[in-house]
Amino acid sequence: MAFQSSSLSRSSSVDLRQTSAKIFGSQMISPDIEPTHLRFLGSIKRNPKALRLKATMESPAQESKDNEPKVEEVSDHFRKMRHRFLGFKKDKYLSNLEHYQRLSEVQTPKKSDILQGQFMVIACADSRVCPSSVLGFQPGEAFVIRNVANLVPPHDNGPTETNAALEFAVNTLEVENLLVVGHSCCGGIKALMSLDDDVITSSFIKSWVFVGKPAKLKTKASASNLDLDQQCRHCEKESINRSLLNLLTYPWIEERVKNRMLSIHGGYYDFIDCTFEKWTLDYKGSTLVPNGGCSIKNREFWS
């Protein structure tokens, strides 16, 4: 039985990896998992103490006291990460010590003295679209949540980490801008567009992207003559607008938008030609009825 359950679990993990690789692109998932795992096993063979670490569940911190095994022996990735962290500490943290000391006391994007903060960003989990890298947000400037396909579910869908983060950013941090950032070649949107709506699925990814179904239906209705890739480009933007409307289904968001204390923006990062499109929801012109329209203003195209 033990063998069977271990085989089952291995096979589900392979399936999951294959599904994830399909959706996020094979470069991201498969090559890194196995080599890292094998390297770790290799280090156990070379160093029995590593096996003891695994068997006794001693924390790495306890082990490092004995100076073995060091993190560097487990993976080169962490050596590079450590180098980057120490670079950040020297070049950013210590060079702007006063600013980082203030941030250590309280997280206040609103009071950031660099960008006048005020932002909460909802972006895709895709590794190519980090808003801090693309839009230059520095620590303390933006409260960020990232999920597959940068979706905002409507209020009635119930709790998710995305609306928990929204609640904190809007009601506690009192951010003044919500920015939903989508991007080109989004694997989550492709999964949504390829999804057979009638099939019940156990995939967490497919269940999640189903949140974007209204955007998919609107895309199918207006761009059915296009091929799948072109439909996906269309849906990437349509789903951003649907998320902007979904934000208004949260009473504490709508109230603030109505009172001009909060603005809702969309953004689209095209990483093929490196352009960024930005627009703002026009509250008065937008409707929340099913399949209602999203009226926008202040559209800008950065290239």
Please enumerate, by residue number, every residue annotated as part of a binding site for Zn(2+). Answer: 124, 126, 183, 186
Work out how close the CB of 164 gets to Zn ion at its nearest, in angstroms, rounded to a whole number: 21
List binding-site positions.
Answer: 124, 126, 183, 186
- Sign of the CA dihedral running 127, 133, 135, 138: positive
CA pair distance 14, 194, nearest whole angstrom: 21
Nearer to Zn ion, 126 or 141 (CB): 126
CA pair distance 2, 10, nearest whole angstrom: 12
The site for Zn ion (CB under 5 A) is made up of 124, 126, 186, 188
Work out how close the CB of 186 gets to Zn ion at its nearest, in angstroms, rounded to a whole number: 3
Nearer to Zn ion, 181 or 262 (CB): 181
Q: Which of 264, 262, 250 is nearest to 159 (CA)?
A: 250
Work out how close the CB of 170 gets to Zn ion at its nearest, in angstroms, rounded to a whole number: 24
**Quick one: tokens of 23?**
């959706």
Nearer to Zn ion, 74 or 124 (CB): 124
What Cα–Cα distance (Å) separates residue 80 from each residue in 35, 71, 77, 85?
16, 11, 5, 9
Nearer to Zn ion, 71 or 130 (CB): 130
What Cα–Cα distance (Å) separates residue 91 from each residue in 18, 44, 141, 244?
40, 36, 18, 37
Work out how close the CB of 129 gets to Zn ion at its nearest, in angstroms, rounded to a whole number: 7
Give φ, ψ of 281 to 5 degrees: -70, 130
Work out how close the CB of 203 gets to Zn ion at its nearest, in angstroms, rounded to a whole number: 16
Is 131 in contact with 181 (CB distance < 8 Å)? yes
Nearer to Zn ion, 20 or 118 (CB): 20
- Residue in the structure block whose two tokens are 């949260």: 250
